[in-house]
Amino acid sequence: MRILADQNMPLVEEFFSDFGEITRFAGRELDPQQLIDTDILLVRSITKVDANLLAYANKLKFVGTATIGTDHVDQTLLQQKGIAFSSAPGCNATAVAEYVVSSLLALAQEDDFSLRDKTVGIIGVGNIGSRLAVKLEALGCKLLLCDPPKQAAGELSEGVSLDTVIEKADILSFHVPLVKEGIYKTKHLLNHSNLAKLKSNAIVVNSCRGDVIDNSALLNFMQAGGGLSLVLDVWENEPNIELALLPYTRIGSVHIAGHSLEGKAGGTDMLYQAVCQQLDKPTTHKMADFLPQPEFMAVHLGATFSDANICQLVHSVYDARRDYGLLKNGLNSEGFDSLRKNYPGRREFSTLTVKCSSTANAKRLSQLGFNVIEE
């Protein structure tokens, strides 16, 4: 069996070598002719799976993307061709929620405000948005949840409209899929007309897809004196992003919000399970066997640990400003894709065991995602 896999997908050899020969490819450079005699294609978000790519796919049985987003895959075409498809829903949802929490705590520290005084609008309350909501509740934020498709399906009881979020939120965090048309279109959800209606010093976080915010409208708005604090992990037109936006970001990164070790490995693991099911084979590998130990495994909190120390604890595992440094220092010399390829990785909060004696702290920290032991 021939397997083609993106070069940035971890653990492919560990999970898939029992099935056959593995060839790696650079995500944006996959030549359609490489699909001749290929049985399994494993991609990440930067490979467009469309009619052009599949032109020579004479034996393809399975396409998998080790990502949550699927906007790069023509699923209708795969269905028409009888090629099985699987994505990795939720694989890196915790990593993205932690990216947002880490960024907001950094801004709260730098600008000397408390998240307890802030209203956060979460736009898109699926795997990521709902995990983020739990973490932000632990930090005392007031929440506005906006998810019209879920609301229409009766799955979100206290949802609000995007207009309400725009008007009332101090912080907005976008977690929608990229949908280019239809009633629930998300392309340019934040655009020229509603940017001007935001609170003047709002924080805007985009860690879903770049096209969800009209980047040139955002640039014009900021150049005209808009006072937003921008946290941008995703950009329109990656990897050729609008460089003029960079000076207006408070935190920015190269589309790595989901790139925790657990998130990336989890994507490969989910595809492995899907392939096993497709081929009717038992699963014999599991992700936990392949992940290294984290550098820091446990901390013991003293009796004086308080709200003020949560920021320190979170940043001891992951500080999104490290990744802003990588972007600012490396974009010109290395380029967007190379920074992504060489991303140093990070661990999730759950890899740190926190021992503490206060029940209130234990509850809050476990809600944030740490592995808490109350003693």
Ligand X SMILES: NC(=O)C1=CN([C@@H]2O[C@H](COP(=O)(O)OP(=O)(O)OC[C@H]3O[C@@H](n4cnc5c(N)ncnc54)[C@H](O)[C@@H]3O)[C@@H](O)[C@H]2O)C=CC1
- Interface residue list for ligand LXYGBJRG (CB under 6 A): 8, 44-46, 67-69, 92, 255, 258
Annotated binding residue 111: no
- Member of 5, 60, 108, 123 binding ligand X (CB under 6 A): 123
Catalytic residue of the set 255, 321, 346, 364: 255
The answer to whether 280 is a known ligand-binding residue is no
Contact with ligand X (CB under 6 A): which of 32, 177, 330, 335?
A: 177
Nearer to ligand X, 233 or 323 (CB): 233
Give the dihedral sign, CA 37/69/217/182: positive
Q: At what angle do helices 261-279 and 93-111 cross, to 10 degrees?
A: 170
Letter string b/e over residues 330-351, b meaning 16 or more CB atoms within 10 A of that residue's CB: ebeebebbebbeebeebbbbbb
68 vs 171, beta carbon nearer ligand LXYGBJRG: 68
Q: Which listed option, ligand X, ligand LXYGBJRG, none, makes contact with residue 8 (CB within 5 to 8 Å by class)? A: ligand LXYGBJRG
- Judge whether 37 is annotated as a binding position: no
Residue 65 C-beta: closest distance to ligand X, Å: 11
Nearer to ligand LXYGBJRG, 46 or 356 (CB): 46
Annotated binding residue at 45? yes
Q: Classify strands 229-232 and 142-146 as parallel, antiparallel or unpaired.
A: unpaired
Binding flag, residue 347, ligand X (CB under 6 A):
no
Among 211, 214, 233, 348, binds ligand X (CB under 6 A): 233
255 a catalytic residue: yes
Residues 6+ apart with CB under 8 A from 164: 121, 144, 146
- Spell out the residues 6+ positions from residue 139 whose beta carbon is closer than 8 angstroms to its own: 101, 104, 105, 115, 116, 310, 364, 368
- Alpha carbons 185 and 56: distance in angstroms, whole number: 33
Show the site string, 91-120: x = touches ligand X by CB under 6 A, - = not.
-xx--x------------------------
Burial of 180 (0-12, 13-18, 19+ CB in 10 A): exposed
Spatial neighbors of 62 by CB under 8 A, at least 6 apart, are 39, 40, 41, 83, 84, 85, 86, 274, 275, 278
Nearer to ligand LXYGBJRG, 122 or 254 (CB): 254
Least Å from the CB of residue 11 to ligand LXYGBJRG: 14
Which phi and psi angles does 321 have, rounded to 5°?
-70, -25
Q: What are phi and psi of 26, to 5 degrees?
A: -80, 130
209 carries an active-site annotation: yes
With binding defined as CB under 6 A, does residue 132 bind ligand X? no
Among 167, 238, 242, 334, the active-site one is: 238
Alpha-carbon distance of 176 to 184, in angstroms, equals 10
Q: Which residues are annotated as a binding site for NAD(+)?
A: 147, 233, 258
Query: Could you tell me which residues are annotated as the binding site?
Result: 45, 67, 147, 233, 258
Binding-site entries for substrate: 45, 67
Binding site for ligand X (CB under 6 A): 68-69, 90, 92-93, 96, 123-129, 146-150, 175-179, 184, 186, 207-209, 233-234, 255, 257-258
The residues assigned a catalytic role are 209, 238, 255
